[in-house]
Amino acid sequence: MSTKAFASQADLEEKRVSFTRLSEHAYAYTAEGDPNTGIVIGDDAVMVIDTQATPAMAQDVIRRIREVTDKPIRYVVLSHYHAVRVLGASAYQPQQVIASQDTYDLIVERGEQDKASEIGRFPRLFRNVETVPPGLTWPTLTFTGRMTLWLGKLEVQLLQLGRGHTKGDTVVWLPQDRVLFSGDLVEFDATPYAGDAYFQDWPKTLDNIAALKPHALVPGRGAALQNEAAVAQGLAGTRAFVSELFASVQAGARAGKDLKAVYRETYDRLKPSYGQWVIFDHCLPFDVTRAYDEATQYADPRIWTAERDQQMWQSLEG
């Protein structure tokens, strides 16, 4: 295999944005496999779920919100701590930035390193990065397990249904509309990034999402899932990828193989089924490295730094 350009530094192609209405109150801002943003329009206020990676990029979300409502954007919800999800928050000038306490704790522990790591990996996703204010994006309100907000008469539930993509994963559930915003717990035709994952917990967390019986679901990446069959397909695809990857890595680790050998085996095993998914080549080195850690000696994800990213890439793809 020829040496690949590091992570997604060679990925320069702009994606076409869609703004899709899913219910009376719910919209999805999607971009062909780039990170999605969710929008909830209540009686008196707007909630934005995941912000885009920079304030400049968030302006396009705001422009589309303003095409359908002039209500104030009061709430920003962070589904998890990754920079690509949170660094656009300042553009919305929200009254509250809400996250799980676990997400807050991850920002304290590794926010700075993650920010540097992600910007280095994926420059296109941080367009006009100079518009990001100095420092980190801090939640102003945190919760553990669940929180209910009322946007007038619209009930909005923020739920931690289990660990998966990170330990802080939060979903946003509109019980009246039966619409769910999953963050990166669910992807559709896009490869799950699992560098901070809990592989053994993730399938059960997906079961907990399925138990809500959503009629529509906004994944972290990929097209909005607009009916129950599409939701089931998104859940099944994500579950299959996570489960097959971990099973392959665990088998290799138990056989005493080193990370590089396990990576090659797992890449070859998954490529036929998932190689056409967005960012497959980008994610797999990070995903297998985390899975190998979890299968061997690290219950919790190790911190990714820009330096660790480069070392890992060189050892597996150099």
Beta bridge partners, 173, equal 157, 180
CATH, residue 46: 3.60.15.10
Q: Is 3 part of a structural domain of the chain?
A: no
Q: Is 11 part of a structural domain of the chain?
A: no
Check residue 225 and report its DSSP letter. Answer: B
Q: Which two tokens stand for residue 250?
A: 């665990």
Q: Is 9 part of a structural domain of the chain?
A: no
CA 144 to chain centre: 19
Q: Which two tokens stand for residue 273?
A: 């089924």
> Whats the size of the chain, residue-wise?
318
CA 19 to chain centre: 18
Let me know if 13 is exposed, middle or buried by CB neighbors in 10 A (0-12, 13-18, 19+). exposed
- Give the separation between CA 239 and CA 136, rounded to whole angstroms: 32
pLDDT (0 to 100) of residue 2? 45
Mean pLDDT of 104-122: 94
- For the chain, the domain total comes to 1
Domain that holds residue 170: 18-317
Q: Is 179 part of a structural domain of the chain?
A: yes
Q: Is 306 part of a structural domain of the chain?
A: yes
Candidate from 71-75, 122-126, 137-141, 287-291 with smallest mean pLDDT: 122-126
For the stretch 166-191, pLDDT in tens is 999 999 999 999 999 999 999 999 99
pLDDT (0 to 100) of residue 3? 54
pLDDT (0 to 100) of residue 1? 40
- Give the separation between CA 233 and CA 61, rounded to whole angstroms: 27
Using DSSP bridges, classify how beta strands 26-31 and 18-21 pair: parallel, antiparallel or unpaired: antiparallel
For the stretch 15-57, pLDDT in tens is 789 999 999 999 999 998 899 999 999 999 999 999 999 999 9
Nearest CA-CA partner of 249 in 264, 262, 268: 262
Residue 87 to residues 27, 140, 244, Cα–Cα distance (Å): 21, 15, 32
Q: ∠ CA 280-284-286 to the nearest 5 degrees?
A: 135
pLDDT (0 to 100) of residue 14? 74
Strands (E), the chain: 18-21, 26-31, 34-41, 46-49, 73-77, 96-100, 141-143, 146-151, 154-159, 171-174, 179-187, 216-221
Q: What percent of the chain has pLDDT over 70?
A: 96
Q: Which two tokens stand for residue 10?
A: 């060679």
| 6 pLDDT above the threshold of 70 | no
Using DSSP bridges, classify how beta strands 73-77 and 179-187 pair: parallel, antiparallel or unpaired: unpaired
Q: Is 263 helix (H, G, I), strand (E, B) or coil?
A: helix
